[in-house]
Amino acid sequence: MDLVGLLTLAMTVFITSLSGALMPGPVLIITVSEATKRGFIAGPLVVLGHVVVESIIIAGLLLGLGTFLQLKPVLVTIGILGGAALTWMGSSILKASYRKQVSLSNELEKVKTVTYGPTISGIITSLSNPYFFLWWATIGIGLLSLFIRSVGTINLFIALLFAISHWMSDLIWYSGISFSIGKGKQKLLSEKTYRTIIGSCGLFLLMFGAYFVLDALRATLT
């Protein structure tokens, strides 16, 4: 395949991946939460954690992990454990907001909402989101298969081209979110608005966590 064909294929992966990145979810929430404290750099750092997990997923898909991820017991286990993790994170953030432990002042260094930082949070929110694995077990496998079929082979260069095409969608989207929030933090947000954003992030994480657990439990009964 020539250079134009490779670039066209890479753009296809980018656009398809961007459609998934644009959907609301735990990674978006944690990006907003971290960006109110750290500004633009939060987005790339959260994506770095996301990339760590996806590097393992992509390697696994090349070795046949996709079939395993589609097994019902695996999806149920991911749902329960992931939902519990999201619930814990959400309650910590919500409690810190309610107790006014978050501030735009120098006290931001002492905030206890997400003490493990944006990169670790990116790893946790990726691993704790059942739909992250579901996306890779369906759309992700399909994209990778399309890539391999179109090129006719798989090697390190092709794998990296696929991965970078996918990751650029996450990097552009979440960096844009953190940049906007970071600028707003400096010019637009009051302390009350800041705590409201943090509290909303915690609330949505709780909702996601509860939904994932209930959905997993419901799946065990069907």
pLDDT tens by residue, 107-123: 334 434 545 788 998 89
Per-residue confidence band for 33, with pLDDT thresholds at 50, 70 and 90? confident
- Residue 203 in this model has a pLDDT that exceeds 90: no
N-term to C-term CA, the chain: 46
Residue 171 has pLDDT above 90, yes or no: yes
Domain count, the chain: 1
The structure's pTM equals 0.70
Q: How far is CA 12 from CA 7, 16, 79, in A?
A: 9, 6, 30
Which amino acid, residue 167? W
Q: What residue numbers bound the domain in which 192 lies?
A: 3-220
